[in-house]
Amino acid sequence: MESVVPAVQGLDGIVLRYGSFYGPGTSIGADGDITERVRKRQFPVVGGGDGVWSFLHVDDAASATVAAIDRAKPGLYNVCDDEPAPVREWLPALAEAIGAKPPMRVPAWIGRLAIGDNGVRMMTATRGSSNAKAKAELGWAPAYSSWREGFRTI
């Protein structure tokens, strides 16, 4: 699925497409909903866990937003860390980082009963993003270049 920013004559805009937020006040924060579900082993790897997610610490979202205000040309910028990762890698790492047991694994057909078709697609087929344009054009780089280091701060 590709995002489209429609062209309107005489109107230019900047679109920041953020990765999945983690850190204070988010669902992947110390008391966040996803973190709690991972602790309770209620957030399993679905199917092969092939869905690739891009992450972004909330502090990095703030610094990228400031950089965009200061330097962005009209257009679309993916704002995420440097390491998109499949669910089968990041979910067990998150569990380990928060001191939880490894996540369970369920077949896609069982996952579909609990989280529906869109949820299964997120866990098995979504594709990560590249931050190359944001880094090159905004002069920005995430302080947490990888979710691996960032998850340890939760």
Query: What structural domains does the chain harbor?
Result: 14-146 (3.40.50.720)
Cα separations in angstroms, 131 against 83, 92, 125, 140, 142:
9, 24, 20, 10, 9
Residue 8 scores a pLDDT above 70: no
- Per residue in 44-56, is it b (16+ CB within 10 Å) or e — as a string? bbbbebebbbbbb
CA atoms within 13 A on the CB side of 75: 10
Contact 49, 104 (CB under 8 A): no
Q: What is the mean pLDDT of the chain?
A: 94
Residue 89 scores a pLDDT above 60: yes
Residue 126 scores a pLDDT above 60: yes
Q: What local confidence, expressed as pLDDT, does residue 2 receive?
A: 55
Q: What local confidence, expressed as pLDDT, does residue 12 receive?
A: 83
* pLDDT tens readout for residues 34-51: 999 999 999 999 999 999
Rounded Cα distance, 91 and 22, in Å:
13
